[in-house]
Structure 1
Amino acid sequence: METVRLNNGVTIPLLGYGTYQLPQSTGPKLLQEAIELGYRHFDSAQEYQTEAAVGDAIRHSQLARDQFFVTTKSWMDGYQATLDGIDESLQRFGYDYFDLILIHWPQRHPLESYLALEKIYQEGKARAIGVSNFNSRQLDELLANSSVIPVIDQIETHLLWPQTRMAKYLHEHQIAHESWSPLGASQLKEMVKIPLVQTIAHQHQVKPTQVLLRYLTQQGIVTIPMTTNHQHLVDNLASLDFDLSTAELASLRQFDRGLQSMHWPSWMREDAY
């Protein structure tokens, strides 16, 4: 598994398994299958209600806890609410630390919430802390008023919205770029039908979805596709088994449309920062 070294020295697997909308009925089996296939990076969140399932899957695997990288995201707003919420998350997870804890959204008091994560980090309840869905202006506010630089910003990123402007900002500030919705959700059908994507897939004898994922991971973007399909679990992991050429990477950049998969707040649009 390829990894990305975060700004505090912790390494994160380049590709993981996202647990957003993981079904309660089949989730445990899917997590077990993922571990058996070789997944060691799992992205959870309080809002997803999957922290307990991920913890159970790790215990069931009989592998050591330190063989896994587990993220959760805090939905709480404000200092004390965030502290209390993470303690509850740890109880559900069944271990005494997460590898990465993110502020899920910049709500009314993002700085206070992030300062709570700093305390959690100092107490050893997280090996790293960061944010999700923050734009550059919101990150500027955190950087100016906190002592721990976020290690990562998890934002919607895919072929039709590669986040070119935000990627430059993150690189300049030594903050890793992580993609949620790497296959574009509602735009997946459109993306896999793009002739160039199909041509590249044919040349490498892989699937179009694997080209879409490798386009991101080969740029060092941490990627967490979600699926409930066993074959897709296999395919997503195998997307790391080939490399796109420099020319192929460059040719795929033409599809940047700044196109969001959902109607998010205006401050998440690339022209808002």
Structure 2
Amino acid sequence: MKKFNAMHYSRRQILQFYGLSGVGLAITPSLFSFMKNETIRQRVIPSSGKKLPVVGIGTWQTFDVDGDEAIMATLKQVLNEIYSLGGTVIDSSPMYGSSEATVGQLTAALPSQDEFFFATKVWISGKQAGIDQMNSSFQKMKRSAMDLMQIHNLVDWETHVKTLKAWKEQGKITYWGLTHYLDSAHATLEKIIQQEKPDFVQFNYSIRARHAEQYLFDTCEKYGTAVVINQPFESGSLFRTVKDKELPAWVGEYGIKSWGQYFLKFILSNETVTCVIPGTSKPNHAIDNMGAGYGALPDTKGREKMAAYMNSL
């Protein structure tokens, strides 16, 4: 797919390109703030030295649409917008209903299919049950090999880690990892990282949920584990907190044009974060989320100022 260079187009033409000509600029606040002659920020996967764009997409709930044609068309546009702005990471799971099949069907119809970074999970107990479930995920996502296979919420992790290590050696997966979404799992994640040295770990972290800063980020950095962040918006509660509130003017120095970018840039200002995966089914929100991967990021003083302001609301 050819990348879109907004420098050559008017605002009207850009909106038409993104299929947003009827929605107006008010709900695409970041659209023009990062469309310059720049590329999305990338960070290194420590175990391989390869790079990933820092913003991707999660598919929990948003891609569980069971083949609804109208919604599928919108989700295809979401993936096109993300890819056009440099994003590649798509994270799914067999836990997410029809999401894996939706991802497979939509990406198979895109010329950029093989340029995405496909991540999914195993979420079942038992060796053979895990193998069967993962093979099913390959079929649903239409992949002969998977970029990243993760053990979802640590379900029977001692069993699955052996399979994933073997599959990595065989080339069936490129990376393996672990996931969870609760602070209470961070200590267990830390121990497994120390013991098994996964390529990736995925966990919760946000501007108001900073438990991972106590030790988990340090452990990931020490053992060379790439970090994927889930729950960046705290299941939407962050947006409810800031509803009808104006952004502080001083965040303009970081190129922040929306609350979504405020929350995501706070996360990305932690340099141990490899990628954040906000979920959305709306093209304009996808564009806005991708904007967090462009431009300046707050330094330590700036991120603490952002957190303090958020806590004051």
TM category (shorter chain) comes to 0.7 to 0.9
Q: Say whether residues 1:31 and 2:75 are aligned partners.
A: yes
Distance in 2 of aligned mates of 1:172 and 1:34 = 35
Residues 1:42 and 2:90 are matched in the alignment: yes
Q: Partners of 1:77 and 1:19 in 2: how far apart?
A: 22
**What are the Cα deviations for residues 97-139 of structure 1, in whole angstroms up to 9, with x where unaligned?**
11111101123x3211111111221221211000001523344
Moved more, 190-199 or 56-65: 190-199
Match of 1:269 in 2: none
Query: Which of the pair has more CA radius of gyration?
Result: 2
Distance in 2 (CA, whole Å) between partners of 1:84 and 1:181 is: 28
Q: Which residue of 1 aligns with 2:233?
A: 183
Residue 249 of structure 1 aligns with which residue?
303
SS in 2 for 1:61: coil
| TM-score calculated relative to the size of structure 2 | 0.72
Q: CA deviation at 1:28?
A: 2.5
| Cα distance, 1:200–1:125 mapped onto 2, change above 3 Å | farther
1:94 corresponds to 2:142? yes
1:4 to 2:43 alignment: yes
Deviation beyond 6 Å, 4+ runs, structure 1 = none
The aligned counterpart of 2:61 is 21
1:161-202 Cα shifts (integer Å, max 9, x gaps) = 132122222222221222111112242135536989634445
Query: Which structure 1 segments of 5+ residues have no match?
Result: 258-273
Residue type at the aligned position of 2:266:
Y
> Which digits, 9 at most, give the CA deviation of each residue in 1:225-249, with x for residues without a partner?
1112221111111122231342312
Alignment size in residue pairs: 252
Identity %: 19
- Provide, for residues 11-67 of structure 1, a one-character-per-residue CA deviation record: whole Å limited to 9, x for no partner: 3321101111024135532332123212322111111131121122222112251x1
Matches of 1:143 and 1:79 in 2, distance apart? 23
TM-score when normalising by structure 1:
0.82
Q: Quote the Cα distance in structure 1 between the aligned partners of 2:188 and 2:101.
A: 34
Distance 1:205 1:6 in 2: 26
The verdict on how the C-alpha distance between 1:85 and 1:255 changes in structure 2, with shifts beyond 3 A counting, is farther
Partner of 1:58: 107
SS at match of 1:178: strand
- Tell me what 1:82 maps to: 130
Contact 2:58 2:91 (C-alpha < 8 Å) held by counterparts: yes
Q: 1:64 to 1:94 in 2, by over 3 A?
A: closer
Cα distance in 2 for partners of 1:117, 1:27 equals: 34
Unaligned runs of 5+ in 2: 1-39
> Which whole-Å CA distance do the structure 2 matches of 1:215 and 1:206 have between them?
13
Report the Cα distance in structure 2 between the residues aligned to 1:236 and 1:186, rounded to whole angstroms: 14
CA distance in structure 1 between the partners assigned to 2:157 and 2:278 by the alignment: 26
Q: What CA distance in whole angstroms lies between the structure 2 residues aligned with 1:111 and 1:47?
A: 19
RCO comparison, higher one (Cα < 8 Å, 6+): 2
Output the aligned Cα RMSD: 2.6
Per the alignment, residue 265 of structure 1 pairs with: none
Query: d(CA) in 1 for partners of 2:121 and 2:61?
Result: 14
Equivalence for 1:123: 170
Cα deviation for residue 143 of structure 1 reads 4.1
Matched, 1:225 2:225: no
CA distance in 1, matches of 2:245, 2:220: 31
Q: Secondary structure at the match of 1:169?
A: helix
Q: Hey, what's the Cα distance between the residues in 1 that align with 2:71 and 2:297? A: 32
Report the residue type matching 2:270 in the other structure.
Q
Partners of 1:30 and 1:188 lie apart in 2 by 25
Look up the equivalent residue of 1:216 and give its one-letter code: I
State how 1:160-199 maps to structure 2 within 5 Å: 160-162=208-210, 163-165=212-214, 166-189=216-239, 191-192=241-242, 198-199=248-249
